[in-house]
């Protein structure tokens, strides 16, 4: 976790955590839905889009666990009667006004972390599909109603923007080589979008039977 030098603050965060179980769950689900973080095992890791947002924020405190811990401490003091609620709310309002003013002073430059050019139209909703470090996603990915995406890495092979564009335009790519099965064996296949717009393999005619079935995309 983040290092905190203030022993009292560290104690508060150990005892109280950050937020409540209910608010933490809602916040995490929202961050996942808008692609600011991703799950990697049991960890939540910032995505390039999330890091781009943090880099663009002019107020470091907004991304600071220390600020959250300080507010948690004051909330606990309000419960104990040693801190005035109205004073705390006034401090929050003043801080919010300062943050808004600093953000308004920013020059209007792109801050999504994604290139502006698209590689094709979404097969589900028709919106532009844009390239990101992890693959190709519908530009409406912030709206949970459209989650279309094509991974960049499929069975150990990286998909190029041109191949993704071909997949979007025709519903399939040409024959691609260099995929790797779980056994380590390399194989060639076409990438095809099924009726639900999921990426699947289609294999060329095999010369022999009994070969190990390669994994589906995303299981490498």
Token representation of residue 219: 């299981």
Question: Which tens digits make up the pLDDT trace of 157-209?
Answer: 888 888 898 899 899 999 998 898 888 899 999 999 998 888 999 998 766 55
Beta strands 128-132; 135-138: pairing state? antiparallel
Higher pLDDT, 58 or 34: 34
| 113 confidence band (pLDDT: 50, 70, 90) | very low
List the domain boundaries for the chain: 7-104, 118-202
Number of helices and strands in the chain (H, E): 6, 11
CATH superfamily of 7-104: Topoisomerase I, domain 2 (1.10.460.10)
Quick check: 59 pLDDT over 80?
no
Quick check: 22 pLDDT over 70?
no
d(CA 38, CA 170): 30
d(CA 218, CA 156): 9
Q: How many CA atoms lie within 13 A of 37 on its CB side?
A: 13
Token representation of residue 96: 């919010």
Would you list the DSSP string of 122-158? Answer: -TTT-PEEEEETTEEEETTTTSTT---EEESEETTEE
Q: Which residue has the tokens 């502006």?
A: 116
Average pLDDT in the chain: 76
Q: In degrees rounded to 5, what are phi and psi of residue 108?
A: -75, 90
Q: Do 167 and 175 meet the contact criterion of CB atoms below 8 Å apart?
A: no
Question: Average of pLDDT values for 70-94?
Answer: 90
Q: Which of 112, 97, 135, 124 is nearest to 217 (CA)?
A: 135
d(CA 148, CA 16): 38
Question: Which tens digits make up the pLDDT trace of 130-161?
Answer: 888 778 888 887 666 788 889 888 998 888 88
């Amino acid at each position: 976790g983040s290092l905190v030098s203030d022993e009292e603050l560290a104690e508060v965060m150990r005892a109280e955590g950050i937020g409540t179980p209910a608010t933490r769950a809602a916040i995490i689900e929202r961050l996942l839905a808008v692609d600011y973080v991703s799950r990697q095992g049991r960890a939540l890791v910032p995505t390039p889009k999330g890091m781009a947002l943090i880099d663009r924020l002019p107020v470091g405190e907004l991304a600071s666990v220390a600020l959250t811990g300080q507010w948690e401490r004051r909330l606990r003091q309000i419960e104990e009667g040693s801190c005035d609620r109205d004073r705390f709310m006034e401090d929050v309002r003043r801080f919010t006004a300062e943050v808004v003013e600093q953000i308004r002073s920013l020059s209007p430059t792109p801050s999504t972390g994604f290139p502006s050019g698209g590689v094709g139209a979404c097969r589900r909703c028709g919106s532009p599909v844009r390239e990101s470090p992890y693959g190709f996603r519908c530009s409406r990915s912030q709206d949970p109603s459209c989650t279309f995406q094509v991974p960049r890495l499929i069975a150990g092979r990286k998909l190029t923007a041109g191949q993704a564009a071909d997949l979007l335009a025709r519903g399939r790519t040409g024959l691609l080589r260099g995929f790797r099965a779980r056994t380590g064996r390399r194989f060639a296949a076409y990438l095809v979008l099924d009726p639900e717009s999921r990426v699947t393999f289609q294999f060329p005619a095999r010369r022999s039977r009994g070969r190990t079935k390669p994994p589906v995309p995303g299981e490498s």
